[in-house]
Amino acid sequence: MPSTNLSEGHEKTSSGTYQNDGLRDTDVLTSPSLTNWVERGNANGVVPITLNRYDEADRNNPVSGNCCVRPNGTIGSTKELYVDAGVVQLDGMFYNVGSAATLDITATTNYHNPYHATAIPNGTNAGDEAILLVYVDPRLPNNIGFVFGSYVDTATGLYPQSPSNHLVLQNTVLAAVRVGKGASNPVILAIEDKRSFIRPGPVALSAIEHSDGTEENLRNDFVAGFNAADLPITDLGVLYARNPSGFTQFPQGVGQTHLFFQSDQGLGLTTGGGGTYQITPIHRTAKTPMIPYVGPTVLNFGTAAPAGLLYKPLQSEEDGATHLIRVDVFDAANIFLGTLVEAIHYTVAALNLTLNDPATFGVAYATAAFASITYTHAQHA
């Protein structure tokens, strides 16, 4: 196995003198590796926040980075380790784990009582070894827990087995520690990296489809003969992508793929709440400074005021013709004269907004000098 990868459930061992387990042609997969792969399928694992750049020097370093477990002291004599700071996702929640503080494998406070009422004891024979797992446990200090298996005498040809009682809950294992008999307390003989990284993003969503070719409903009726899903379901919200076509009569972003959220409360206003929500385009409000306005004025989109508007105003979903925009007119003394009306005083085209000549608006606008424009856009330059 010449190199490592963030997708692996364990890492190579050549970078750390305290690692010798690894996965080579003659090695056997240990349970933390297998269970971490299953957990990663449930989106449980280490989030590579500081190792997600392709050219990051430590991207695949098994002895550095997010939540890496390392010894504190000399292998063969120390009973302490520490976990590098990092973030773990567990059951949809995020936990900060690790710190600069050392963790003692002989301290009972680092063990959850239902698994072990006391810390790992010292071995009896010189060749005694046990496997201790360092796993994520939000019930313990630094969100880190220890769990250990039984000692075996390796001089008899046995190999210690990994514990399994921590598997009663979903979790992720950060490292497997091989523990041996010490002079007065158990000592750390090796620390094997077992981190399983989950993808940091982005997440791609394809638009949903239906048997009739529309994208108007969140149903699983694409395959003939299947029963349609009973959505929405109580206490269930669904995030998905679709073309807004059919969502309203004049949807924003029609013909494109946008992000939606389906709540569990039915049809929204007709049931008093909930419904389907279009999340993108993201609505933002912009307001220009005073734009000189004494005659016909063309403001191109993509150009900063006063020469134009940086963004294009969104269209109203109510009528599909007017836009989410307000144009206020002032005289040279900054006295408010009135608010212009679209299609009468100004027009919005594909590439620009045109303010008609205020001289044609009547006496109320005869002293027009400036226009202030407030509009809603979706950050489209």
Phi, psi of 91, deg, nearest 5: 55, 40
Looking at the structure, tell me whether residues 236 and 290 fall in a common domain: no
Looking at the structure, tell me whether residues 241 and 372 fall in a common domain: no
Looking at the structure, tell me whether residues 138 and 239 fall in a common domain: no
Query: 233: number of CA atoms within 13 Å, CB side?
Result: 8
Looking at the structure, tell me whether residues 138 and 238 fall in a common domain: no
Residue 168 lies in a domain: yes
d(CA 16, CA 60): 13
- Residue 369: predicted pLDDT: 97
Looking at the structure, tell me whether residues 115 and 62 fall in a common domain: yes
Residue 8 lies in a domain: no
Looking at the structure, tell me whether residues 247 and 133 fall in a common domain: no
- Residue 256: predicted pLDDT: 87
User: Whole-model pTM?
Assistant: 0.68
* H or E stretch covering 38: helix 31-41
Nearest to 146 by CA among 195, 95, 189, 107: 107
Name the domain count of the chain.
3
Residue 6 lies in a domain: no
Looking at the structure, tell me whether residues 181 and 80 fall in a common domain: yes
The pair of three-digit structure tokens given for residue 74, joined into one six-digit string: 């000399």
Looking at the structure, tell me whether residues 298 and 266 fall in a common domain: no
Q: What is the pLDDT along the chain (381 residues), one digit of tens a residue?
A: 334 554 444 444 455 566 555 554 434 445 787 788 888 888 899 988 877 777 877 777 777 788 999 999 999 999 999 999 999 999 989 999 988 789 999 999 999 999 999 999 999 999 999 999 999 999 998 999 999 999 999 999 888 988 988 888 888 999 999 999 999 999 999 998 888 888 777 888 888 766 555 555 565 555 555 555 666 677 778 888 888 887 778 888 888 888 988 777 655 555 555 677 888 888 889 999 999 999 999 999 999 999 999 999 999 988 989 999 999 999 999 999 999 999 999 999 999 999 999 999 999 999 999 999 999 998 754
Residue 1 lies in a domain: no
Looking at the structure, tell me whether residues 349 and 214 fall in a common domain: no
Report long-range pairs for 300-306 (Cβ below 8 Å, ≥24 apart): 300/351, 300/352, 301/351, 301/352, 301/353, 302/381, 305/373
| Contact (Cβ atoms closer than 8 angstroms) between residue 188 and residue 179 | yes
Looking at the structure, tell me whether residues 171 and 251 fall in a common domain: no
Nearest to 160 by CA among 135, 190, 196: 190
Q: Which of 168, 193, 218 is the C-terminal boundary of a domain?
A: 193
Looking at the structure, tell me whether residues 219 and 311 fall in a common domain: no
Pairing of β 325-331 and β 308-309: unpaired
Looking at the structure, tell me whether residues 95 and 135 fall in a common domain: yes
Residue 9 lies in a domain: no
Residue 21 lies in a domain: no
The pair of three-digit structure tokens given for residue 271, joined into one six-digit string: 């049931």
- Cβ neighbors of 253 (< 8 A, separation 6 or more) are 244, 278, 280, 281, 378
Q: Which of 247, 278, 309 is the C-terminal boundary of a domain?
A: 278
Q: What share of the chain is helix, strand, coil (3-state, %, to 5)?
A: 10, 30, 60
Q: Which of 158, 193, 228 is the C-terminal boundary of a domain?
A: 193
Residue 18 lies in a domain: no
Residue 24 lies in a domain: no
**Domain of 346?**
284-377
- Residue 193: predicted pLDDT: 87
DSSP 348: E
- Residue 102: predicted pLDDT: 92
